[in-house]
Amino acid sequence: MPFLGQDWRSPGWRWVKTEDGWKRCEPFSPALEDGNNQLNDISHTVIIAGDDENEEVYSTEDCEFAAKKRKKDHFRNNTDSQCFYREKWIYVHKESTRERHGYCTLGEAFNRLDFSSAIQDIRRFNYVVKLLQLIAKSQLTSLSGAAQKNYFNILDKIVQKVMEDQYNPRLIKDLLQDLSSTLCILIRGVGKSVLVGNINIWICRLETILLWQQQLKNLQMNKQVNNGLTLSDLPLHMLNNILYRFSDGWDIITLGQVTPTLYMLSEDRQLWKKLCQYHFAEKQFCRHLIPSEKGHIDWKLMYFALQKYYPIKEQYGDTLHFCRHCSILFWKDTGHPCTASDPNTCLMPVSPQHFIDLFKF
């Protein structure tokens, strides 16, 4: 497998696996390639600057350094894309090697894995929001300055998407609430905190969060005008099957507020019992039995009581994956340069909490 580091054996190029072995892809930017060719031509010449009396000769090493700097400036000034990384995966290493110095950080991974595009995919939207929520609770100060800026840019896109599409505003409200609480604590203890950047920047970010919360609070759901078949027209057994497909108790309660029929179905004891059995072990809910007035177990109250003590199972349409063979973290549809004979056997889905744990040292 080719090395991923910036060394003389593989200076950051992109490689693809073919029948004849690994081959290097062409650079993604023709304009950048032309610029690099020009810089390479210049780097092999001698540049003379200044007057005849005080002329200064720049060596080949100086020119190569200038070429590299111009290349970096090209990426930094490229405003068309938020992230200038070619690859959408990252090698997770926790110790120094001959090829790599240092270790992979949470901020590095957050910048490299293209979360800006991921939130546009409905399968990944909840996954990214949950990850941002976990970072807001405990890992915000672990991000670098660039990663923190990227974090709030992605958060801005999420809020705008929810305002436009009205998709799952409750999830975003919870995220903003946790983030505002964390920032209030860190700003009050600014002398002891490790926030990157001026305190005034964080105060402005907190004000922006409060503005987003107000916008979501005033969000009015658009009524769908549809003359065809509606949810209320479905037979009871189909409505009941829909409710049994929900894995979140709050979603069941929200759907039950739509019509009296759905409310009746959402209060079914058997429905909440199945939900408790799905998320929690029998030993767990046996310790917190809550009887109702009629002497039966109140499974609905049991669910929300157990939720305070134990984590619930999380379901996502798509997640990040980790290759145990290559130690690479990536989105499954983007792939990665794996050298395993059967790559699918090496893949492991990564939950949001697992993502955080990968970068704890």
Same domain for 180 and 160, yes or no, is yes
Same domain for 113 and 209, yes or no, is yes
Lowest mean pLDDT among 176-190, 236-250, 281-295, 328-342: 281-295
State the residue range of the domain holding 271: 248-309
SS3 89: strand
In a domain, 32, yes or no: no
Same domain for 136 and 179, yes or no, is yes
Same domain for 304 and 339, yes or no, is no
Q: What is the pLDDT of residue 98?
A: 59
Same domain for 325 and 350, yes or no, is yes
pLDDT, tens digit, 9 for 90 and up, residues 213-254: 999 988 877 666 666 777 788 889 999 999 998 888 888 998
Same domain for 172 and 116, yes or no, is yes
Yes or no: say if 314 and 78 are a contact pair by the CB < 8 Å rule.
no
Q: Is residue 105 very low, low, confident or very high in pLDDT (cuts 50, 70, 90)?
A: confident
| CA angle, 340 then 344 then 350, to 5° | 110
SS (H, E, C) 6-58: EECCEECCCEEEECCEEEECCCCCHHHHHHHHHHHHHHCCCEEECCCCCCEEE
Q: Is residue 16 very low, low, confident or very high in pLDDT (cuts 50, 70, 90)?
A: confident
In a domain, 107, yes or no: yes
Same domain for 105 and 134, yes or no, is yes
Same domain for 112 and 193, yes or no, is yes
- Mean pLDDT of all residues belonging to the chain: 75
| Domain count along the chain | 3
Q: What is the pLDDT of residue 77?
A: 43
In a domain, 69, yes or no: no
For residues 53-63, give the mean pLDDT.
Answer: 43
Same domain for 272 and 335, yes or no, is no
Q: Is residue 346 very low, low, confident or very high in pLDDT (cuts 50, 70, 90)?
A: confident
Q: Which two three-digit tokens encode residue 354?
A: 């697992």
